[in-house]
Amino acid sequence: MSLLKVNNIHAYYGNIHALKGVTIDVNEGEIVSLIGSNGAGKTTTLRAISGLMSLREGSVEFEGEDIANYASHDLVGRGIAMVPEGRGVFAKMTVMENLELGAYTRNDADGIKQDLERILELFPRLAERKTQISGTMSGGEQQMLAMGRAMMAQPKLLLLDEPSMGLAPILVELIFDTVKELNESTGTTILLVEQNAHMSLQVSHRGYVLQTGEIVTQGNAKDLQQDESIKKAYLGIE
Amino acid sequence: MNKELTTIDWQKLARYGLLWGVAAVYVSVIGMIESFSGRSIINNTLTLAQVLLFIPPIAAGYMIVNRKEIMPQDRNSVLMGGAAVGAISSAWVVLLIIVQGAIPGIRNVFINVSPALIEVLTFGLGFAGVFIYVAVTAVLGLIGASVHLLPDRGRRAVYNVVLTLLIAGAFGEIFTQVLRPLVGNVVVRALYTGGALNLVAAVVLVAIAGGLGWYRQENQARYEAFRGEIGTPRQKQVYQYQVAIGIILLLILPWIVGRFLSDVMVTIGLFIMMGLGLNIAIGMAGLLDLGYVTNYAVGAYILGILTTVPPDGSGYGFSFWIILPLCLFGAMSIGFVFGLPVLRMRGDYLAIATLGFGEIIRILAISEWLEPLAGGAQGVLYIPKPEIFGISFSNPQQLYYVVFAGCALVLYVSWRLNNSRTGRQWMAMREDEDVAQAMGINLVRTKLLAFTISAAAGGLAGGMFAAKLGTIFPTSFNILVSINVLSLIIVGGIGSIPGVIVGAIFLIGTPELLREFVEYRLLIYGAVLVWMMLARPEGLIPSAVRKRELKSGVDSL
Ligand SMILES: Nc1ncnc2c1ncn2[C@@H]1O[C@H](COP(=O)(O)OP(=O)(O)OP(=O)(O)O)[C@@H](O)[C@H]1O
Ligand SMILES: [Mg+2]
């Protein structure tokens, strides 16, 4: 069943036509990759989905409902959580305070406590650093925190914007493993935006390729990994 | 530059001393020294002017020791460097003395270079005083530097002594008044003559303060041991007693300290309320509001207009108690309305916009358009004192209780907010608006809430201010009020509730008590703020969060 339906959306920054009719479908329980090079419009797409960007044309439906009806901050309660590009942890707060803010929209104290424990289990690195000031953690740890914090909202759909950006290769692998584990252990649907096409397609079920504001290819992750043109353009394989 | 110095770099040392010397000559030329020379700290021995003159050499001596690129850290260099830098710091003052002797017309340019000033600078000894001045500064520089050579407990004793002497001496007039009814005239006369400490009393005080500083560790250990002995439940009880005694003391304070000090405390109380209010906007929500005077003015005018009883019988004459809540809601509404247009602004832009709001209110108050209501430049007169069940709160000692209640209320609300969901919402917004929104925080509502609640405290203070004075004029509501409130927050520690209280006592209380300061108020604020930013950017009593930020090295604001 389709959880998120992005229908032919157009978005502009002033005169710049950033999205030229993007259509994406994400089914429940899936990990879907959205890959593309710098400036392709990946972040813009996520901003459009999370209501931070007004659409000139097209619509975004979540659970069959047009989300144009919701203010951006209401989407969290509705089930969409986003980890913004560049992580965006509250640098001056502790790890715990960050995680608690993730559950801001929830009122079930017991449920929050349970989720907190589960997330600290999923991210053992955070468990060791509960009282550390987030801004002093390494890039990889901050990414974990941002993901854990988003999970605290109990989202149905998690939007990740380039989680591997600027991380050492070994950490990149760890992050993608965690993404996969999140999806498998909690059943959370994930839309994963990445430039690292190789790694993201490996953990995804399906993928879309975005080029200057347009979807140029889509399909099964396995098939995309074999696709000659994609290999050339994004996987660095001649 | 990691090479250890083996000898003093004299050239750098001289430059350092001359730099500090500028401070001494500056306070002389602007007239501060002369006006401070009237206040004795120790009778016939030390005046406030001398203290001010002594600060540069002491500070130069004290601080140069930390400059590893100027001097090595061994004992002889420290002593020698301290004395030298102290003596060098006197150069400009010596030059001033010589120049004014040589060029009698200098007063046409520097009007404050008066014979009285020169008398202070030369210890009344004429030109020979110059040599004494140089010698004294050398000794002071030496003292400043040698503080570093003392053991920890010695240093604490020195700080104690200096602070005690300054407070006991500078506020002598007040202590005389307060102590006389408490301990009797005989004791007071033994301590003070004409508001200045007697030399003997000063020596005794030095001994006591020094001793307490020296033995503080032992005393503290004894107290800890005592606490350990009595066990946790009793500890709690003791704490409760302490709090109870503190509150009782605060309640009887006006009757102990008398009318004048009560009046000062009322003013401090008004600024505590405003400080706590502004702290909600700046400290908790990160909204730099430079127009806080708006709320003060709104509260004052609402109360003034609605309670005034002019002799011609034209006023509304409502009761203070009915209108006071209206001041609160009035200020909140204005806070809300002014919040709307600036919702999208951040940082500097927000600061400039709010600065404008403060001016708008002042100009409105003085305008012809609102004259029928607000009285234009005449202001609002005949505002009666609060009264309830036949008890009138007419003098400062009684008004104190009204302000006390107001402070208690604002304090309680601040404290609750700080630990609430709303408080965390503000904290998140302060750090990163975009991410806060991604957490599901409604930015519009959160910001408006901060502006509105912050304004409430200002309205309350404004209403009480109007009742206290009995008359209000537009000139009372200028940008200086906003600057005062902002300064006291910064000095106390942004975001820290106890900091606001200490900041208000320090910044508002001192100029009220030492009249000499009033004229130089802004200069002193400026100096204190610059010094704070350099030496203690987190404020006197930093909030837990700030302290953490600064310690962890995550850049703030
Ligand atoms: N605020 C803005 N104002 C104007 N143009 C913008 C703005 N943000 C993005 N753009 C433009 O929109 C296009 C898409 O940008 P977007 O940030 O979505 O790219 P991206 O695919 O996320 O790239 P990257 O991988 O570098 O993050 C780019 O051409 C970019 O220059
Ligand atoms: Mg991007």
How far apart are the C-alpha atoms of B193 and B51, rounded to whole Å?
19
Asked whether residue B174 is assigned to any structural domain, the reply reads no
Residues B265 and B403 in one domain: yes
DSSP assignment string, B174-223: HHHHHHHHHH-HHHHHHHEETTEE-HHHHHHHHHHHHHHHHTHHHHHHHH
Asked whether residue B221 is assigned to any structural domain, the reply reads no
Mean pLDDT of A64-89: 87
Q: What is the per-residue pLDDT for A235?
A: 60
Asked whether A75 and A156 are in contact (CB, 8 A), the reply is no
Confidence of residue B523 (pLDDT cuts 50, 70, 90): confident
Residues 6+ apart with CB under 8 A from B506: B488, B491, B492, B540
Task: Flag whether pLDDT at B547 surpasses 80.
Answer: no
Cβ–ligand 1 contact at A167 (below 6 Å): no
Quote the tokens at residue B235: 């500890």
- Count CA atoms within 13 Å of residue A198 on its CB side: 10
Q: What is the per-residue pLDDT for B557?
A: 39
Last residue of a domain, one of B149, B175, B191: B149
Q: What is the per-residue pLDDT for A238?
A: 44
Choosing among 3.40.50.740, 3.40.50.720, 3.40.50.300, 3.20.20.70, the CATH entry for A2-234 is 3.40.50.300
Task: Flag whether pLDDT at B89 surpasses 60.
Answer: yes
Asked whether residue B479 is assigned to any structural domain, the reply reads yes
Mean residue pLDDT of chain B comes to 88
Q: What Cα–Cα distance (Å) separates residue A212 from each residue in A41, A43, A215, A228, B181?
A: 6, 12, 9, 20, 85
Asked whether A66 and A60 are in contact (CB, 8 A), the reply is yes
How far apart are the C-alpha atoms of B43 and B238, rounded to whole Å?
41
Q: What is the per-residue pLDDT for B92?
A: 92
pLDDT digits (tens, 9 = 90+) for B170-219: 888 888 888 888 888 888 888 998 888 999 999 999 999 999 988 888 88
Interface test with A, best of B431, B443, B447, B550 (most A CBs within 10 A): B431
Q: What is the per-residue pLDDT for B542?
A: 82
Q: What is the per-residue pLDDT for B1?
A: 46
Out of A208-217, B302-311, B321-330, B381-390, least confident range? B381-390
How far apart are the C-alpha atoms of B541 and B494, rounded to whole Å?
9
pLDDT digits (tens, 9 = 90+) for B300-355: 999 999 999 888 878 888 989 999 999 999 999 999 999 998 888 877 888 999 99
Whether the complex's predicted ipTM surpasses the cut of 0.90: no
A-B Cβ pairs (cutoff 8 Å, strict)? 70
- Which of A9, A12, A13 gets mutated to test ligand 1 (max ligand atoms within 8 A of its CB)? A13
The closest residue, in CA terms, to atom 10 on ligand 1 is A13
Share of chain B above pLDDT 90, in %: 46
Task: Flag whether pLDDT at B556 surpasses 50.
Answer: no
Of all ligands present, the nearest one to the C-alpha of A234 is 1
Mean pLDDT of A226-235: 74
Parse chain A into domains and list their residue ranges.
2-234
How far apart are the C-alpha atoms of B345 and B89, rounded to whole Å?
47
Residues B269 and B133 in one domain: no
Cβ–ligand 1 contact at A15 (below 6 Å): no
Cβ–ligand 1 contact at A42 (below 6 Å): yes
Task: Flag whether pLDDT at B2 surpasses 70.
Answer: no
Last residue of a domain, one of B124, B149, B174: B149
| Ligand 1 atom closest to Cα of residue A213 | 14
Mean residue pLDDT of chain A comes to 89
Asked whether residue B226 is assigned to any structural domain, the reply reads no
Mean pLDDT of B125-154: 91
Q: What is the per-residue pLDDT for B331?
A: 96
**Residues of B in Cβ contact (< 8 Å) with A102:** 439
Expressed as residue numbers, the domain containing B88 is 1-149
**Residues of A in Cβ contact (< 8 Å) with B442:** 71, 73-74
> Cβ atoms within 10 A of the Cβ of A211, count?
15
Residues 6+ apart with CB under 8 A from B271: B461, B484, B485, B488, B504, B507, B508
Mean pLDDT of B388-405: 88
Q: What Cα–Cα distance (Å) separates residue B533 from each residue in A19, B34, B527, B539, B548?
A: 47, 29, 10, 8, 17
Asked whether residue B389 is assigned to any structural domain, the reply reads yes
Share of chain B above pLDDT 70, in %: 97
Q: Output DSSP code: residue B378.
A: G
Task: Flag whether pLDDT at B509 surpasses 80.
Answer: yes
The closest residue, in CA terms, to atom 25 on ligand 1 is A38
Q: B172-183 and B216-279 helices cross at what angle (nearest 10)?
A: 110
Last residue of a domain, one of B149, B178, B195: B149
Out of A219-233, B313-327, B541-555, least confident range? B541-555
Task: Flag whether pLDDT at B142 surpasses 90.
Answer: yes
Number of domains forming the structure of chain B:
2
